[in-house]
Structure 1
Amino acid sequence: MDKYFGSSIWPVRRFEKGESHDCLDNVAEEVPVALVYNGISHVVMLATPADLEDFALGFSLTEGILASPEEMYACEIVEAENGIRIELDISSERFLYLKERRRNLAGRTGCGLCGTDSLSQAVRIPAPVTSSQIFSVETLHSGFDQMEKMQVLKRATGATHAAAWLDGNGHVSCIREDVGRHNALDKLIGALTVSRSDREKGAVLVTSRASYEMVQKCASAKIGILAAVSAPTALAIKIADETNVTLAGFVRKNGHTVYSHPRRLI
């Protein structure tokens, strides 16, 4: 269990109805988190310091650093002077693969999709998912209602995104929050992996837009349905179509839009 909750208390001056008063406010934490593999720092992310073991595992799997959770032997959270280090011990085979990826960065500046040396690598297309999960519209919308009530950090701070798992029975059985939408999804996928949940029997619900990375991560985890409260991008739709992921956006109480493979939402 993480020692961090993800928020802190700050003194503020609040203005309401023409008057001001001093009080304490709950504010979401955002700290640099370095992912260190076998002693080598790979990437530094800004993240909410909660559920960091889930984050490390989910990120490692969805970014293709690990092919399976068994390739991660240990994970230690270390509080550093200016942030947090997550020190992972991974298999020698995957570490060699990671070092080869890092060589692609040599001599580069200003890279937007770091660690890639070709356009085909920049937009990685996972294998098509085979999920046969089907949800009714009512179940989908019920899932978002459940998720809203379970967002503890959002309710306390107003600053976090959430990613939730709607299981095959229509219940939100897991939720993760973070200031970053991709981080929240990585945390969720990590948690689902640890609990050995059947990722082909359910759907991911997110409180953000759906970028191509989020579709990519879901497809990598063999998740067949991604539903978002906001819009997807064109590239997200393209990848969802190619990977057999059902992508829904603008999920509201009065409706939603399905952009790919609508057969799973009836």
Structure 2
Amino acid sequence: MRTTRQDLLAEEVPLAIHANGEPLAVMMVSPCDLEDFACGFALTELGIARHDLLSVDVQSLLEGIRLDLATRHPLPRHALDPQRWLPGRSGCGICGHRHLEEVVRRPESVGQGPAIASSALEVALAALGKQQPVNAFTGALHAAAWARPDGTLVLVREDVGRHNALDKLIGAMLLGGIDAASGFALVTSRASYEMVAKAATAGMPLLAAISAPTALAVDLAQGCGLTLVGFLRRDRHVVYSHAGRLTAD
């Protein structure tokens, strides 16, 4: 039997990022929590710390959204290379890079961070679904969450792009003064190289993903001291690097 019902769809809009008046990138995003995204993107993609980001201006235009960043210091020369930044898809982080050394970034080692019980991962996962309001209606968004060592969720951000969701989470933590070394992150996606790079750049000691990691992601996590967890389920998970940070229940 055929029925007709109204459906709710997730928004996906083009976002143009400018810094000090210079165009940097265009990507597809969910149009929410954009100040958080700006702070996170500035750190993880441009290397701009929170105290060096003077202002964020968000403008809604006919064609999409423009995000203007004002920084305390000039951007690095490579960031302003007009041939580097190309229009990107949802959270496409390496679009526009022309050289291998620009793509494979090696963040500094993360701190020790707290000991985290394995059960805390499952506690965070069980709570996450209830804190994804847009995805609950549309089924189309990724989420990135920050949890205390006991698994209590503190922040959750959603976006059509998994990289964007993590940047939004990192930005919200920066704006909220949350120490990235005080808990762990959980993402509803695979753990790609860039997700690990962003988490490590922010200083997160542990990243848990509900899907698989890539080989390069595991290599990067091993090298920078980050605990990488994949295939997170309510009754099991796989630890790919630095398992010593997780404790038995």
TM-score (norm 2): 0.91
Provide Cα deviations, 1:113-139, integer angstroms capped at 9, x if missing partner: 455454233201010101332211111
Q: Which residue is 2:3 aligned to?
A: 20
Give 1:255's aligned amino acid: R
Give 1:63's aligned amino acid: E
Q: Which residue is 2:74 aligned to?
A: 94
Cα contact 1:207–1:230 (8 A) shared by 2: yes
Change (3 A) 1:104 1:48: closer
Q: Which residue is 1:123 aligned to?
A: 104
Cα contact 2:114–2:181 (8 A) shared by 1: yes
Give 2:2's aligned amino acid: E
Q: Which residue is 1:105 aligned to?
A: 83
Greater alpha carbon shift after TM alignment, 185-194 vs 123-132: 123-132
Paired with 1:34 and 1:177, the residues of 2 have a C-alpha distance of 19
Q: Which has the higher contact order (CA 8 A, sep 6+)?
A: 2
SS of aligned partner of 1:94: coil
Greater alpha carbon shift after TM alignment, 251-260 vs 130-139: 130-139
Paired with 1:75 and 1:65, the residues of 2 have a C-alpha distance of 16
Cα contact 2:120–2:150 (8 A) shared by 1: no
Q: In proportion to residue count, which structure has more strand?
A: 1
Q: Which residue is 1:160 aligned to?
A: 141
Paired with 1:132 and 1:113, the residues of 2 have a C-alpha distance of 29
Cα contact 1:102–1:115 (8 A) shared by 2: no
TM-score (norm 1): 0.86
Greater alpha carbon shift after TM alignment, 176-185 vs 82-91: 82-91
| Pair 1:71 & 2:52 matched | yes
Q: Give how far 1:80 is off.
A: 1.0
Runs of 4+ deviating beyond 3 Å: 112-118
Q: Which residue is 1:196 aligned to?
A: 177
Paired with 1:239 and 1:120, the residues of 2 have a C-alpha distance of 14
Cα contact 1:71–1:94 (8 A) shared by 2: no
Q: Which residue is 1:33 aligned to?
A: 15
Cα contact 1:215–1:240 (8 A) shared by 2: yes
> Size of the alignment, in residue pairs?
240
Q: Which residue is 1:140 aligned to?
A: 121
SS of aligned partner of 1:252: coil
What is the aligned counterpart of 1:222 among 203, 206, 217?
203
Paired with 1:222 and 1:124, the residues of 2 have a C-alpha distance of 15
SS of aligned partner of 1:20: coil
Q: Give how far 1:169 is off.
A: 4.1
Provide Cα deviations, 1:151-201, integer angstroms capped at 9, x if missing partner: 111101110000000123431010000010000000000000001101101
What do you get for the CA RMSD once the two structures are aligned?
Answer: 1.7
Aligned residues with identical type, % of pairs: 43
Query: Structure 2: which 5+ residue stretches go unaligned?
Result: 87-92
| Pair 1:54 & 2:54 matched | no
